[in-house]
Chains A and B, each alone.
Chain A
């Protein structure tokens, strides 16, 4: 019954076989029941665009395929490892549209826009910002007044950082809205004996620009970050935002004028803060909530360092219950292009965790924190895990 395999072993370009596995993991489909937003629908539309038998309007197809959270879960589920976010990025790169431009403005000029939006958001109920309104509600949620109260105290550190130079990569949120995250990370690293260098001029990780299909601005930011690292003497880069970590790791796949061996050195230099945070002794105070829900981000969860650290720190207090198609809804450019869909995804996510009054939700991704904090009911704290440490 076996037939000769040698004749057909030449590699072929994989294509969507419409098996339906992506529907199982797509958070957007799970939250909306809209199959037209599923990964396989995106591949079908893209194929139809090139097929003269289909009378598909390119603009409408782009608008529809652009509704993607860029979570990457479909790629892992797909037997052919097709990636809808990559398809969307490629389609956008070939057909830049206004949504992408807006995102370019938002992230590319974060220094100007983030604080401005955070300020504006306080007055959001009095103004009509159209699609920006939903995004602003996320920023408003990051107001200092809603920060989680610390209830874990680091009492001693293992001197694992002695003789090691490090720099913290703060990312957009800590740079402009939540400087406390950066400060706490710095204190922890100094406590471990690291020679902590000042921020050498890092900008945004540019992950979001990539999702938006803005390849050239993304590359410019990547180049700037790599140069800043070189200028600082190629120290370890300690990262506390999972999405930033994912974005920075992706630099190794880009042509950024790497010197010999430098690409590997870059990847090796990227260190999740949570992988170091376990090397301290902590004291949990009386004001600790009874239950803490951990939300695993879609990007950059890596080897689960955040969850591992928090499990060790919080023990049975931490619930790590998850689901394969769960997402906060912040990713991709959905927050801007279709905020109502993004909100639906967030709502489903919060309903899954079903936190009760006085309980806390923690994540290791700035985007997840923004999104979940904006949608969480009153009395439910949401924060980055750094916020519980004093």
Chain B
């Protein structure tokens, strides 16, 4: 299908009047791309404002067998919302209201296009915490976070998006609207279909509303930045913090390469030439925090950090964490093209994993940058290169394969939080095995028999 049939177009125009439907190639171009920088031209883009429009859209899409691609802020890096088979992109930009934040139920209800950071702020204003905190929180959408089961910086203590989803409203192919889960924090009635949508990468239905769990906002939080002269000392400090019996809200690692790249973006607190850094956050009551902070310091200091800086106010916290949030973009200083993996390994294998990735980089003479959520075993692996250099591109391909082989051999996974999308499709069978993959296909076929929801992605 290279264009939409006239009859379908007329029906779409009736459901999506005015600028809620766009067709021009120039207008729709940006909707064909996401942060993976993969691209495919959409046939059309619609901007629904309510569930009824979504239901009608999916009725028409099923009837005409037209692929449907949900799109929030398109911040995913695995091509998760690229319309590879020509179809209709559904922008959630006009379904972006926070419908409810309830301090008695400890629940938030959101439309899909709400930016996660806005939800965090709105909850905070009521003394509540929405705990998931992906690095893209300030500019990614809640339904996107759900679709990809986004993790993030606080996952070491608070888990991933899945752990905070109580309910989902989803429109299914054909137009049926399912209301799954509830506002109850405990609800075991029937199969947990609400959480089936978490991490489904838009392949089952269109999420039109989410009910999310909140917590009381911790009274205070503090962050320590510890910079080290080498990786080993940083990894030893991380181990010692856990051994001290502390569960930090975040435990982030940045390699020397990352520190150097961030220094190119702007002012940084660490001296030029620093080789490794940990960002360690803890939260809790003011009294407990003071005590825990001292214990973290005592655990870190024997590993001889060259810089130990503490942030105690929200402004200081933000300044320290803003560096970490920019890493994904900063590494482009090493080359015009980037390929990313976000492997995860059992927490006890982190040190071994990063060392062996370093060996792979040396052996193949490529640039591999590692950083990320070492506290929960999730390591971001960035391969930065010049795609116009064929030899380098080939070596990068080999390096990626070796890193993923290594990860699986250590009992790890090919993606800890980014998702499979298009980028990891070649590895999903290796990761889950043929029987599990067949079961996933069976679930998909039951809910989306014609395969119109984000085809070719995930599994």
Which stretch from A52-60, A96-104, A192-200 is at the chain B interface? A52-60
Task: Please tell me if the beta carbons of B26 and A2 are within 8 angstroms of each other in the complex.
Answer: no
Which of A18, A29, A38, A61 sits near B34, CB closer than 8 Å? A18
Q: Which residues of B contact A64 (CB under 8 A)?
A: 26-27
Instruction: Name the residue of chain A whose CB is nearest to the CB of B28.
Output: A36
Task: Please tell me if the beta carbons of B93 and A17 are within 8 angstroms of each other in the complex.
Answer: no
Task: Please tell me if the beta carbons of A36 and B93 are within 8 angstroms of each other in the complex.
Answer: no
Which of A12, A38, A54, A61 sits near B336, CB closer than 8 Å? A12
Q: Is residue B328 contacting chain A, with contact meaning CB distance below 8 A?
A: yes
Task: Please tell me if the beta carbons of A2 and B334 are within 8 angstroms of each other in the complex.
Answer: no
Q: Which residues of B contact A20 (CB under 8 A)?
A: 35, 73-75, 136, 139-140
Instruction: Name the residue of chain B whose CB is nearest to the CB of A40.
Output: B30
Which of B91, B117, B256, B276 sits near A5, CB closer than 8 Å? B256
* Interface size class, chain A: 35 or more
Task: Please tell me if the beta carbons of A35 and B31 are within 8 angstroms of each other in the complex.
Answer: yes
- Asked whether A19 and B276 contact (CB < 8 A) given A3-B361, A3-B368, A80-B329, the answer is no
Which stretch from B172-180, B350-358, B422-430, B440-448 is at the chain A interface? B350-358
User: Per DSSP, are chain A's interface residues mostly helix, strand or loop, or mixed?
Assistant: loop
Which stretch from B17-25, B195-203, B286-294 is at the chain A interface? B17-25
Task: Please tell me if the beta carbons of A19 and B25 are within 8 angstroms of each other in the complex.
Answer: no
Task: Please tell me if the beta carbons of A18 and B74 are within 8 angstroms of each other in the complex.
Answer: yes
Q: Which residues of B contact A41 (CB under 8 A)?
A: 29-30
Q: Is residue B69 contacting chain A, with contact meaning CB distance below 8 A?
A: no
Q: Which residues of B contact A36 (CB under 8 A)?
A: 22, 26-31
- Give the complex CA separation of A19 and B136 in angstroms: 9
B21-55 vs A, CB cutoff 8 Å, 1 = contact: the mask equals: 01011111111011101000000000100000000
- Asked whether A15 and B93 contact (CB < 8 A) given A20-B73, A45-B30, the answer is no
Task: Please tell me if the beta carbons of A60 and B24 are within 8 angstroms of each other in the complex.
Answer: yes
Q: Which residues of A contact B217 (CB under 8 A)?
A: none
Task: Count how many pairs of residues, one from A and one from B, have CB atoms less than 8 Å apart in the complex.
Answer: 119
User: Per DSSP, are chain B's interface residues mostly helix, strand or loop, or mixed?
Assistant: mixed
Q: Is residue B218 contacting chain A, with contact meaning CB distance below 8 A?
A: no
Instruction: Name the residue of chain A whose CB is nearest to the CB of B94.
Output: A33
Task: Please tell me if the beta carbons of A17 and B75 are within 8 angstroms of each other in the complex.
Answer: no
- Give the complex CA separation of A147 and B447 in angstroms: 63
Q: Which chain B residues in 115-154 approach chain A with CB under 8 Å?
A: 115, 117, 136, 138-140
Task: Please tell me if the beta carbons of A17 and B91 are within 8 angstroms of each other in the complex.
Answer: no
Task: Please tell me if the beta carbons of B30 and A35 are within 8 angstroms of each other in the complex.
Answer: yes
Task: Please tell me if the beta carbons of B330 and A79 are within 8 angstroms of each other in the complex.
Answer: yes
Q: Is residue B453 contacting chain A, with contact meaning CB distance below 8 A?
A: no
Instruction: Name the residue of chain B whose CB is nearest to the CB of A22.
Output: B139
Q: Which residues of B contact A56 (CB under 8 A)?
A: 25-26, 29
Q: Which residues of A contact B330 (CB under 8 A)?
A: 79
Which of A1, A19, A21, A45 sits near B231, CB closer than 8 Å? A1
Q: Which residues of B contact A33 (CB under 8 A)?
A: 47, 91, 93-94, 96
Interface on B for A, CB 8 Å cutoff? 19, 22, 24-31, 33-35, 37, 47, 73-75, 91, 93-94, 96, 115, 117, 136, 138-140, 231, 255-257, 260, 265, 275-276, 326, 328-330, 332-336, 338, 354-355, 357-358, 361-362, 367-370, 384
Q: Which 10 residue pairs spanning A and B have beta carbons closest together?
A: A79-B329, A41-B30, A33-B93, A2-B256, A24-B139, A1-B354, A33-B94, A8-B334, A60-B26, A20-B75
